[in-house]
Chain A
Amino acid sequence: MSTLLSLTGVSKTFADKVAVAPTDLTIEEGSFVSIVGPSGCGKSTLFNLVAGLLAPDAGSIALNGESIIGSTGHVGYMLQKDLLVPWRTVRDNIMMVAHLTRRVRIEDRDQAEVLANRYGLGEFLDHYPQALSGGMRQRVAFMRTLVTPHPLLLLDEPFGALDAQTRLDMQRWLLEVWKESGRTVLFITHDVDESIFLSDRVIVMSPRPGRIVADFTNPLPRPRNFDSLTTMEFVALKAQIMKLLYGESHE
């Protein structure tokens, strides 16, 4: 597997607060990598650096070997807030990036329809987002991310606002879509179970200053299902991550 994204010595300071201490990170093409850590440890800042919303104070960020420092338009990006616009239908929300960047073509519509049909939202194409449930809205938001041609998708706590049941459904759905799409996913979450269930690697970050403290390769075999959540490998990895996040357990 080849390297898709590489960060070398990347750091970012706000005023006198170190949000991200010098950080190295390499992401393999086609992999699913999760980042866990308490809030305020610089996860979103790391994403904003890669997305080009922020420029690092030092270090280099390369996508496919080319520097993308401070430049946008290279990655797919999705937040906990679905950011669907209420005045556009599901179809047009899926095509939002096309609307925002160039003239819309008939292929954009077709692509949006194919995606929505394949993932069970075909009958809602002409609906406004406000008529949809939270889970459905996040699906639409993810499709909006997926129709962009970018190989790297940055998902910042995309399921953070969903209820437990919907979240499980969305996780399985995401794995299915990820496998079919062949994209590379960087996934922020504060849910350790979610990070293990989904990813090939789990990166643990720690605050003050924001930095990577561990990088676990997930031994859990694919395909994964609910039984994966109770295997020895799962529990062992979860224990290691929990210890890093919350310290030794108080017995």
Chain B
Amino acid sequence: MNKVLRNLGIPILSIVLLLLTWQAIVVGFHVDSFIAPRPLAAIASITGNWSTLWPLLLGTIRETVYGFFCGAILGISLGVVMAKVRFIQKLIYPLLVLSQAVPIIALATPLVLIFGLTIRPIIIVVAWIVFFPVTVSIVDGLSHVDPDLLNLAKVYGAGKFRTFWQIEVPASVSPLFSGLKIGATYAVTGAIIGELASSTGSNLAEFQQHANANFNTAAVYGSTILMTIVGISWFLLVVACEIWATPWLRRSTARRRRLRLRQAVAKR
């Protein structure tokens, strides 16, 4: 109970503190409400516009999630190939760095020209941002597996395939999640950049621009809050997956259900 309180309570406390600071600054310095609204006004603009915002929010979530998965799958595949084939690693690494040096905003517009006003260019922008940290972390993980462990497998005559699945993959799970977590935080940024470039007239980024043009500052801040919530939620989901996938980092014994499953598989 104490642990749950600390793990949940402290982050909530820090968010409350942030909101209070915001409130204090706006009130204390007599900031005009169309320069910066009070936190409650920003939140009220979300609940007040909920029927408009909800479908836009769903769209942003969809772009973030689809883009994340495309980027993760691309990143993992590329990383595995690069870690396994030295030549390809040397060939691709410069391109990899190049891909991230291109300003992503400058990339979004040509993508929209190619793919039109669909969700596709947005997904590509998100995937473009997400795949990089994933690839780097996978290459790192796979190339830092303990060579003594690999030798041990070799001594016992283990094949390449089994060594890969039994040792190299599980040893790379933690590094992989470092990459996925970075990707998860940036995914929503990619989605918003993509939305700005694609300008379909019905997405969260454009809602914000529209609100800005109408001096509806509360709605501007409200949509920023929504975007941030998408980013945080997705990050937390990835963290939850990590906790589920790496029980040995937190527990001293294996989960019962997992054991019974293994037993059943072995019996068959």
Contacts and interface: CB of A to CB of B under 8 A. Distances in A.
B163 interface: yes
Interface in B137-151: 146, 148-149, 151
Main secondary structure of the interface of A (DSSP, over half): loop
A220 B158 CA distance: 39
B248 to A, nearest CB: 4
A92 B154 CA distance: 18
A108 B263 CA distance: 11
Contacts, number: 82
B149 A126 contact: no
A245 B172 CA distance: 43
Interface in B214-268: 246-249, 251-254, 259, 262-263, 266-267
Nearest to A103: B266
A150 to B, nearest CB: 9
Contacts of B246: 87
A81 B154 CA distance: 16
Contacts of B146: 81, 83
Interface in A75-130: 75, 77, 79, 81, 83, 85-89, 92, 96-97, 99-101, 104-106, 108-109, 126-128, 130
Nearest to A154: B155
Contacts of B249: 86
A72 B166 contact: no
Q: What bracket does the count of chain A residues touching chain B fall in?
A: 20 to 34
Interface string A43-86: 00000000111000000000000000000110101010101011
A105 B156 contact: no
Contacts of A51: 155
Given A72-B154, A75-B155, A79-B148, A100 B251 contact: no
A109 B263 CA distance: 9
Main secondary structure of the interface of B (DSSP, over half): helix
Interface string B150-164: 011111111100110
Given A83-B146, A83-B149, A100-B166, A128 B252 contact: yes
Contacts of B173: 87
B167 interface: yes
Nearest to A73: B157
Contact of A85 (B170, B259, B266): B170
Given A87-B173, A105-B266, A53 B252 contact: no
A131 interface: yes
B79 to A, nearest CB: 19
Given A83-B146, A100-B166, A131 B252 contact: yes
Given A51-B155, A85-B170, 9 more contacts: A77-B155, A83-B146, A86-B249, A96-B166, A100-B163, A127-B254, A128-B248, A128-B254, A130-B248
Query: Top 5 closest A-B pairs, CB basis?
Result: A73-B157, A131-B252, A100-B158, A128-B248, A77-B155
23 contacts: A53-B151, A72-B157, A73-B156, A75-B155, A77-B156, A83-B152, A85-B170, A87-B173, A88-B248, A97-B158, A100-B158, A100-B162, A100-B163, A100-B167, A101-B159, A104-B266, A106-B267, A126-B259, A127-B254, A128-B247, A130-B252, A131-B252, A131-B253
Interface of A: 51-53, 72-73, 75, 77, 79, 81, 83, 85-89, 92, 96-97, 99-101, 104-106, 108-109, 126-128, 130-131, 148
